[in-house]
Amino acid sequence: MKILHTADVHLKHTGDERWDTLQSLLSIARDQKVNIFVISGDLFDKDIDAENLRPKIRDLFSGNEFQIIIIPGNHDAQLLGDLYFGSNAVLLNDPFQPYLIGDTAFYGMAFETMDEHRVLERLHELKLHLSSEYKNILLYHGELLDVMFTRSDIGAEDETGYMPVRLSFFKELHIDYVLAGHFHTRFDIRSLPDGGYFVYPGSPVSITRRETGRRRVNIFEVGKPPMEYLLDSPHFEEMEVTLDPLDKTDPVIRIEEQLAAAHPHAKIILMVNGYINKDLVRRSEKELVNEIAGLTRERCTEVRYEFRDIQYILQDDLFKLFMTKLDTLDYNSGERQRIREMAMRAMIEAKK
């Protein structure tokens, strides 16, 4: 059995990049010939979005050659088990009622407001329903406390804990995979105490600017390790260009080349730092910023300018003292220039 596992799509509207990403995931599921498409919570951004979009979702989730299994997350926690999402879709929100396909049992722990002690109790209650005769897969939406993450890793949430769990809670439960959601930032795999895997796929499309880099889903064969699958979905990408005052390359050309090499669906957050020599680049700081702004207007979501003119180094009292001392020493012009450049680079490092 082959499974595609994602979470945290946070749908709001049809026709936007999140909607397009969901359609792309369904295409990938068809191309990869998966049997099960798992969405581990927060398919919708809000409960009202679920109601508004369900008629369209029914079209997407019907007529497929694979089954779609969904659990509610904290953003769409009011979804009820008897709602119809399409002929191929199953909504799991009773943790003790599995969905059985062959020798595989799917359980869903939909989001509820509970602390880790209550989560542990719930898992012990679930243990009574699990059988070692099945491959047991648990869909879960919450925080794994063994992972070191910040609030920004799970989207725009407040400081409240969301169904916190620990890997140790799964000891002796006969669970082979925990297919989780809620952790947006990256794909992350942890080993369960008795074998098996706890997997966060990360969001399949950047929901906030904190979710940088190409997005991923989890595609795997039951009985084998989870596998990252790279997506071509919209995502934020941090790009840093460090200007070198001794480099004769046009800085605008350097930036243009790096932008051209970026993924076509990347929304770039560009940082331009370092130093410029205005005599070498034949532009003032203001002129350079205006050129970069024109170049990046269509490609960059944000541009941060943190570069300086090299005069900041050349006019430093320590650097001028060093140069005065250098002038008294017996070096030829080539050696003197090399030492001067070495001193400039050392001062640049010291000023970071």
Q: How confident is the model at residue 148 (pLDDT cuts 50, 70, 90)?
A: low
Q: What percent of the chain has pLDDT over 90?
A: 82
β 300-305/308-309 pair status: unpaired
- Mean per-residue pLDDT of the chain: 92
* Cα separation, 341 vs 46, whole angstroms: 57
What is the residue extent of each domain of the chain?
Answer: 2-230, 235-350
Q: Which of 24-33, 76-85, 283-292 has the lowest average pLDDT?
A: 76-85
Q: Which of 266, 166, 156, 216 is nearest to 7 (CA)?
A: 216
| Tokens 């942890």, residue located | 190
SS (H, E, C) 258-317: HHHHCCCCEEEEEEEEEEECHHHHCCCHHHHHHHHHHHHCCCEEEEEECCEECHHHHCCH
Instruction: Give the pLDDT band of residue 25 (cuts 50, 70, 90).
Output: very high
* Mean pLDDT across 321-343: 92
What mean pLDDT is predicted for residues 31-53?
Answer: 95
Cβ-contact 22, 11 below 8 angstroms = yes
Residue 301: per-residue pLDDT: 94
Q: Which of 245, 132, 293, 114 is nearest to 123 (CA)?
A: 114
Per-residue confidence at 160, pLDDT binned at 50, 70, 90?
low
CATH number of 2-230, picked from 3.60.21.10, 3.30.1700.10, 3.40.50.10320, 1.20.120.340: 3.60.21.10
Q: For 228-277, how does the pLDDT look when each residue is reduced to its tens digit (9 = 90+)?
A: 999 999 999 999 999 999 988 899 999 999 999 999 999 999 999 999 99
Q: Could you write out the DSSP letters of every residue in 118-148? A: HHHHHHHHHHTT--TTSEEEEEEES-BTTS-
Cβ 283 vs Cβ 253: under 8 Å: no
The pTM for the full model equals 0.88
